[in-house]
């Protein structure tokens, strides 16, 4: 696990830096900076909009006495997308925006649910606090 984190925190920034330099040499420095800033602003707007929608769904389900598991996972994904969009880069921006779009977020959420289910089936992860 530590090795994966080290790769994540060293390899991803290096690839992002390489891509930004390549894009900058092709279209110029100012357009590249504007793209990075533009995706950050767009991402912040989408994260805020999607976050409020998920928050209202969570409140509505809680009022009905239901546990909003999928909406909580959506909220976590939206938060993660917002964090990813704060980091300058092309790959992270595309990933963040894909997570913020409800259609693609649905597939990502289902993939995460399947992975969590497999981990629970194997016994590598336990969720004890949610069920009485």
In this predicted structure, the answer to whether residue 126 has a pLDDT above a threshold of 80 is: no
Task: Indicate the average pLDDT of the chain.
Answer: 88
pLDDT digits (tens, 9 = 90+) for 57-98: 999 999 999 989 889 999 999 999 988 888 888 899 889 989
Q: Please tell me which residue, 9 or 18, carries the higher pLDDT value.
A: 18
Q: Where are the domains of the chain?
A: 38-122
- What number is the average pLDDT over the span 32-45? 88
Residue indicated by tokens 């969570």: 58
78, 50 contact by CB (below 8 A): yes
In this predicted structure, the answer to whether residue 109 has a pLDDT above a threshold of 80 is: yes
């Amino acid at each position: 696990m530590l090795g994966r984190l080290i790769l994540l925190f060293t390899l991803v920034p290096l690839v992002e830096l390489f891509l930004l330099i390549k894009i900058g040499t092709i279209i110029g420095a100012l357009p590249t900076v504007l793209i990075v800033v533009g995706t950050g602003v767009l991402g912040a707007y989408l994260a805020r909009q999607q976050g409020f929608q998920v928050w209202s769904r969570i409140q509505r389900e809680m009022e009905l006495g239901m546990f909003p598991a999928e909406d909580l996972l959506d909220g976590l994904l939206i938060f993660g997308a917002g964090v990813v969009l704060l980091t300058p880069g092309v790959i992270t921006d595309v990933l963040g925006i894909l997570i913020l779009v409800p259609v693609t977020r649905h597939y990502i959420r289902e993939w995460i649910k399947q992975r969590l289910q497999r981990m629970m089936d194997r016994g590598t992860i336990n969720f004890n606090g949610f069920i009485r």
